[in-house]
Chain A
Amino acid sequence: MENTEDILFRTLADPTRRAIFGRLCREGELTVTALTAQAGISQPAVSKHLGVLKQAGLVRDRHEGRQTHYSAERAALAPLIDWTKQMTGFWESRFDDLEDLLKRMDQ
């Protein structure tokens, strides 16, 4: 069975898909039309790439009227992000809450 990392690596190995995902991360929600304007490829090709990104959980779509709006699902990158940094961030924020608790506690 292909695991999450494999799927993410394979999906983002394609430079066009990476560019589309990068734009959605930087610019927020965009329509296929807006994405096609800068992608340098046809609208059906952009739609196909968006479909692959969606299957990998990297983008989500929202239908509004005749338009579909796409946005980046950044949390999907979590398995690729350095574990140590992730856990350090987790414990830093837990320690923030621990300090708040200690302030509220009696001696």
Chain B
Amino acid sequence: MSETSKEVLTAVVERNMPHPPEKVWRALTQPHLIEEWLMKNDFQPVVGHRFNLRGEWGGVLDCEVLTIEPNRKLAYSWDYVHEDAAYDLRSVVTLTLTPTDTGTHLRMEQSGFRPGQRQAYGGAKLGWQQFLEKLEQVAGKAG
């Protein structure tokens, strides 16, 4: 599949937290703490370590630790293998911690693509844009 037929996806969430980076880092890297805010997991803070995140909905994410810079930066792959292109996803989650006067600025960037995305959908999508916007309003918290 060529590069252009892939839909590149990026989501960014940033937040200031009134806690020192060392403490935020522990919450991001200790399995029993990760479970409390994210998902059940067998994470280890070791580059190359493969682990799973298990969602309450029954889905299992395949992950691999890509970057470990204690108290500064953590990155792991976040793949969801699904036969249906609407759900299939290959992505990377990068969490960056920056110390501030009041604590930590935490930035999450998730970027990736859907490998099964077909070109036809890109064209079809344009015509449907308005309709989809209405659907989103109707659906509210459907996601």
Contacts of A95 in B (CB 8 A): 13, 15, 37, 106, 108
Bound form: Cα–Cα A77–B37 in Å: 26
CB distance from B21 to the nearest CB of A (A): 11
In A68-95, the 8 Å CB interface with B consists of 74-92, 94-95
Of B10, B36, B135, B140, which is within 8 A of A101 by CB? B36
Contact (A105, B26) CB under 8 Å given A3-B85, A81-B132, A84-B10: yes
Question: Out of A5, A81, A107, which one reaches B139, CB within 8 Å?
Answer: A81
Q: Is the interface of B mostly helix, strand, loop or mixed?
A: mixed
Which residues of A are found within 8 Å of B85, using beta-carbon distances? 3, 5
Which residues does chain B contribute within 8 Å of A37, judged by CB atoms?
none
> Knowing A3-B85, A95-B15, A101-B36 touch, does A107 contact B136 (C-beta < 8 A)?
no
Tally the A-B contacts, defined by beta carbons under 8 Å.
100
Q: Decide yes or no: A105 and B33 within 8 Å by CB, A4-B84, A88-B12 being known contacts.
A: yes
Nearest-neighbour CB distance to chain A for B55, whole angstroms, equals 10
A22 to B4, CA, bound (A): 35
Query: Inside 8 A of A94's CB, which chain B residues have their CB?
Result: 37-38
Contact code string A10-30 (vs B, CB < 8 Å = 1, else 0): 001000000000100110000
Q: Type the 1/0 row for B33-51, where 1 means its CB is closer than 8 Å to any CB of A.
A: 1001110000000000000
Interface string of B3-24 (1 = CB under 8 A from A): 0000001111101010110011
Contact partners of A75 in chain B: CB under 8 A: 142
Q: Which residue of B lies closest to A98 (CB)?
A: B37
Which residue of B9, B33, B106, B135 is within 8 Å of A77 (Cβ)?
B135
Partner of A97, one of B19, B23, B37, B136: B37
Chain B residues proximal to chain A, CB less than 8 Å:
9-13, 15, 17, 19-20, 23-24, 26-27, 33, 36-38, 84-87, 106, 108, 110, 114, 116, 121, 124, 128, 131-132, 135-136, 138-143
Can you add 7 more A-B contacts, CB < 8 Å, to A88-B13, A95-B108? A5-B86, A76-B142, A79-B87, A80-B135, A92-B13, A98-B27, A102-B24
- 8 interchain pairs (CB within 8 A)? A5-B86, A12-B135, A77-B139, A78-B143, A80-B135, A102-B17, A102-B19, A105-B33
Q: Give the 6 A-B CB pairs with smallest separation, nearest first.
A: A79-B86, A87-B11, A86-B143, A97-B37, A98-B37, A91-B13
